[in-house]
Amino acid sequence: MRILLVEDNRVLAQGIKAALLREGHAVDHAATSAAAEHILAAEPFDVMILDLGLPDEDGLALLRRLRQRGNTVAVLILTARDSLDDKVRGLDLGGDDYLTKPFEQQELFARLRVLERRKTAAGSSQLTLGALRMDLNTHQLYIDDQPVTLARREFALLRVLAEQPGRVYSREELEQKLYSLDGALSSNAIEVHIHNLRKKLPEQLIRNVRGVGYYLSAES
Ligand code: CA
């Protein structure tokens, strides 16, 4: 998933970011509410992890503005504020989940998986398309029930395509979904991943519309 981490504690932010990267997520970091707002206006994210005690304003003020504007990014509030009132307020203002510090990384990962599943149909942890089955928890692909090993980026790319078979994605859209702003990205990274994926998938599953982009054939 593409995640925006809004956290002003630099040491904590670095730790969380490193852990999320190891899990295969693309992560951008903002240390202030203003920086978060700036990047949210320009880039699409699946989830924002939001600290509330930010140097320039309360994270809840940012959340309120986003929701008023119709921004539907999933928001996981991550804060030391642990009173019932704070939790209720955070959720009522549009937070999707609330985790208090200190926390265990495993719990953060599990809650992110819940937010991820919620986006897929019926909240399933499996994505099935013809002979393909993707286990979204273990990041394992099966073709005709045989496990097929994919690199993390390959799995993430296939997932984007498989969630809306037939929909054509431009290279720029795929890049936005898969990479953070500071992620090293060669100009042909998407093409390379597509090339490698095609070698592992049934023929003609990933189709190309010349000059437009890629899509997954729904007929598999
Ligand atoms: Ca803080």
CATH of the domain at 199: 1.10.10.10
Last residue of a domain, one of 61, 96, 117: 117
Whole-number Å distance, alpha carbon 5 to ligand 1 midpoint, is: 12
Residue 200 has pLDDT above 90, yes or no: yes
Average pLDDT on 109-125 reads 81
d(CA 128, CA 49): 29
Please count the structural domains in the chain: 2
State in Å: Cα 44 to ligand 1 middle.
23
Provide mean pLDDT across the span 167-192: 84
Q: Is the domain of 144 the same as that of 76? A: no
Same domain, 156 and 101: no
182 and 101 within one domain: no
Residue at which a domain ends, from 84, 117, 150: 117
Domain range spanning residue 69? 2-117
Kindly state whether residues 144 and 202 are assigned to the same domain.
yes
The alpha carbon of 86 and the centre of ligand 1 are apart by a number of angstroms equal to 15
The rounded mean pLDDT for the chain is 91
- Residue 188: pLDDT band (50, 70, 90) is confident
Residue 130 region, left (φ>0) first, then alpha (ψ -120 to 50), else beta?
Answer: left
Same domain, 112 and 131: no
Burial string for 119-135 (b: 16+ CB within 10 Å, else e) reads ebeeeeeebebbebbbe
How many alpha carbons fall within 13 Å on the CB side of residue 186?
6
CATH number of the domain enclosing 66: 3.40.50.2300
Average pLDDT rounded to a whole number, residues 80-98: 96
Q: How far does the centroid of ligand 1 lie from the alpha carbon of residue 80, in Å?
A: 8
Asked whether residue 69 carries a pLDDT value surpassing 80, the answer given is: yes
The answer to pTM > 0.85 is no
8-64 pLDDT, tens per residue? 999 999 999 999 998 889 999 999 999 999 999 988 899 999 999 999 999 999 999
Per-residue pLDDT band at 120 (split at 50, 70, 90): low
Q: How far apart are alpha carbons 138 and 161 in whole angstroms?
A: 18
Domain boundary among 74, 89, 117: 117
